[in-house]
Amino acid sequence: MSVVADAAGLVFQPYVLLVILASAAFGMFVGAIPGLTATMATALLVPVTFFMEPVPAIAAIVTATAMAIFAGDIPGTLLRMPGTPASAAYVQDAYALTKKGRPESALGASLVFSSIGGIFGTLVLITASPVLAEVALKFSSFEYFWLVVLGLSCAVFISPGSPARGLISLFIGLFAATVGLENPAGAPRYTFGNVELMGGVQFIPAMIGLFAVSEVIRAFIHRGSDEKPPATGNRGIFREQLTNMRKYPVQALRGSALGTAIGALPGAGADIAAWISYAVSKKFSKTPEKFGTGHVEGLVEAGSSNNGAMSGAWIPALVFGIPGDSITAIVIGVLYIKGINPGPMVFITQPQMIYAVFIVFLVANLMMLPLGWLAIKGARQVLSIPQRVLMPIILMFCMVGSFAINNSVFGIWLMLVFGIIGFLMEENDIPIAPAILGLVLGPMLEQNFVTSMIKSDGSFIAFFERPISAGLGIFTIAVWMLPLAMLLLRRKGRGTASSEPSN
Amino acid sequence: MRVTDLTLGVLTLLGGIAIFISAMGFKAIPGQDYGAGTMPRAIALVTVLTGVFLIVKAVMAGERLPGLRLAEWTGNTAALARMAAVLLLILAYILLSPVLGFLTTAVAVMLLAMLVLRVRLVIAVPVALVAALAIQQSFGKLLLVPLPRSPFLPFLW
């Protein structure tokens, strides 16, 4: 117990608490601006943490990322522009609620269930981290291949409209991901001799283009109809959440658990966790038809999932020194600079450090509630500004955000191209979300696919030879078969229904 | 601009074939059968299948080429002009901001965009000025993004 007391002593100091507060505000700010991600918040914090002791340094990063992942929901809900990719999975539902005049319902659910997911993930991190990490360690390229395919399949089947259109969207994203030098043979692909394209299609400008610029273009076209910002009621942000907790306890728990597990897998972070959880929620829902129309259920599950994943990602990072996502990859670098080598030995040599990290996680996730409330109160004012005034400013934010990734106007070119693509896609009822996921996971899919093919000498049977791989593979194929089975069942149902009256 | 399922299927099919042909030239990892072309070929294959599926489905439903339905707004010249305006403003920012600097270009672009949307000048001018300054201060100063300097306003950096 003295270890825990030591750890608490490290955390509960005025300086550390001040750092937590400041980085929370910073995380909220960065996460709430479309185009700036939680990863970017971490990267920007690193130079500042160089001047800190290990505990406040880690506290700053943990707090900022947790806040940024939640804050990404705010512009997603109010403006349909997910502030971070982890919010993209359920942005449709959240925005639909805003359109119905109930942004508080969406934001309240995001906030409360983000906090719940984060705390759940932390508890798992504390109790079961060695076990989970050991399972993840056994994964080879085959398991990763299936995991990515599963994530992508879910993205296609959760998208509104027909799966064929979802597939087209996915291929646009996957194809964009093949651009550049980053491939197994290191050969330039689709770069047309352009040096900037050799680095590949940057995710952030593409996301800003697809999600935000297409919306700006649409706003300019439909100026005549002049959409008034939806009136916001005076309902409390937290009040509805008790009802939600009673109504969707299973969803919250499942989202937290699945998110934590996915986060613990190296390479799979909050983004993929949110997508899979949203899909799972839809599949098991009693009212799947309500998803995408402003239904809180998916928000509850995916919202707890992405914050669970944020905590879960630290499991392999702390226990084995393998980053669970890009954020923990940066963290591992910081820890090395501080003279702490993450791995099993830290648990033996510096247990108070590990416990301090656990305490920081709990503090950050609890502080999210009051700070998030403040952020929502502030951000809601955005809606009271008329769209015609807001859209030009948003356009400027988009351009600066796209520029900021590489400090080059090439990002704005990319943003423009993807803005037009996104606009045309939406005009044709092609969902945008699968394209985003294809772009993010494309490189990982390719790497694991090609590695697996080389290892197996081109035999597909090898993808099912390892037990976990086989399980994941069969599960993925089952996901593919589901719409087909549903179609057959519906036909059968319609057949009996139409034959009944004649009887 | 809305294309029908049949047109979409044909476009998808053609896209898949184009990716496949372009991927044939990509090198494999030396000594291996797989490499840079593996993934694009796999994408092409599934794209072609999706295209064929869409075409078959559309033909069975009795669709015919050419299938292009124009949305209502495409008949509205003002709407088309506004769409062109926003694209041109983005282009203008890309081309002019390195020369004129962030503040000047940003104020001009936002001001023009608001005027296109018929925001009154009394509101548009102060909003454009304040927004540009706020973005410059938060991104340029706080986040250290090297926004292009305005030659006329060096004192703000």
Q: Is the pLDDT of residue A228 over 60?
A: no
Domain around B48? 2-69
How many residues comprise chain A?
503
What residues contact residue A76 under an 8 Å CB cut-off, 6+ apart? A82, A83, A87, A88, A90, A91, A94, A95
Same domain, B87 and B121: yes
What residues contact residue B112 under an 8 Å CB cut-off, 6+ apart? B85, B89
Mean pLDDT of A356-368: 87
Interface of A with B in 272-311 (CB under 8 A): none
Same domain, B84 and B120: yes
What pLDDT does A135 receive?
Answer: 64
User: Which residues in chain B are closer than 8 Å to A167, comparing Cβ atoms?
Assistant: 46, 50
For residues A34 and A76, give the distance between their C-alpha atoms in angstroms, rounded to a whole number.
8
Same domain, B52 and B101: no
The answer to whether the CB of A383 falls within 8 A of the CB of A232 is: yes
Mean pLDDT of A412-420: 93
What pLDDT does A266 receive?
Answer: 54
- For A43-71, write each residue's pLDDT tens digit: 667 666 766 788 888 888 888 888 888 88
Same domain, B101 and B54: no
Same domain, B52 and B13: yes
What residues contact residue A141 under an 8 Å CB cut-off, 6+ apart? A447, A448, A449, A451, A452, A455
Residue B121 lies in a domain: yes
CB-neighbour burial class of residue A86 (10 A; exposed 0-12, middle 13-18, buried 19+): buried
Instruction: For residue B63, report the phi and psi dihedrals to the nearest 5 degrees.
Output: -80, 155
Residue B101 lies in a domain: yes
3 state SS of A294:
coil
Same domain, B6 and B46: yes
Residue whose token pair is 């943003």: A415
Residue whose token pair is 């294959």: B45
For residues A28 and A20, give the distance between their C-alpha atoms in angstroms, rounded to a whole number.
12
**CB–CB of A168 and B8 under 8 A?**
yes
**CB–CB of A404 and B139 under 8 A?**
yes
Considering chain B, what percentage of its residues have pLDDT values greater than 90? 34
- For B82-108, write each residue's pLDDT tens digit: 999 999 999 999 999 988 888 899 999
**CB–CB of A164 and B50 under 8 A?**
yes
- ipTM (interface predicted TM): 0.91
Residue B153 lies in a domain: no
Give the tokens for residue A245: 């907790």
What residues contact residue A120 under an 8 Å CB cut-off, 6+ apart? A253, A256, A257, A260, A304, A308, A311
A410 touches chain B (CB under 8 A): no
Same domain, B98 and B134: yes
CB-neighbour burial class of residue B28 (10 A; exposed 0-12, middle 13-18, buried 19+): middle
Mean pLDDT of B36-52: 90
- How many other CB atoms are there within 10 angstroms of residue A92's CB atom? 24
For residues B124 and B109, give the distance between their C-alpha atoms in angstroms, rounded to a whole number.
11
What pLDDT does A477 receive?
Answer: 87
Terminal CA-CA length for chain B? 45
Q: How high is the mean pLDDT of chain A?
A: 78
The answer to whether the CB of A143 falls within 8 A of the CB of A466 is: yes
Same domain, B53 and B98: no
User: Which residues in chain B are closer than 8 Å to A389, comparing Cβ atoms?
Assistant: 114, 119, 123-124, 127
Nearest chain B residue to A404, by CA:
B145
Q: Is the pLDDT of residue A172 over 80?
A: yes
Give the tokens for residue A490: 């519906």
Residue B8 lies in a domain: yes
**CB–CB of A190 and B22 under 8 A?**
yes
What residues contact residue A407 under an 8 Å CB cut-off, 6+ apart? B145, B146
For residues B129 and B131, give the distance between their C-alpha atoms in angstroms, rounded to a whole number.
6
**CB–CB of B34 and A184 under 8 A?**
yes
Picking from B46, B102, B117, B142 by the largest number of A CB atoms within 10 A of its own CB, the best residue to mutate is B117
Q: Which amino acid is at A131?
A: V
Query: Strands B68-69 and B2-3: what pairing?
Result: antiparallel
Instruction: Count how many domains chain B has.
Output: 2
Picking from B5, B12, B13, B34 by the largest number of A CB atoms within 10 A of its own CB, the best residue to mutate is B34
Residue B149 lies in a domain: no
What pLDDT does B86 receive?
Answer: 93
What residues contact residue B45 under an 8 Å CB cut-off, 6+ apart? B16, B20
Same domain, B105 and B60: no
Going by pLDDT thresholds of 50, 70 and 90, the confidence category of residue A321 is: low
- For B4-22, write each residue's pLDDT tens digit: 888 888 899 999 999 898 8
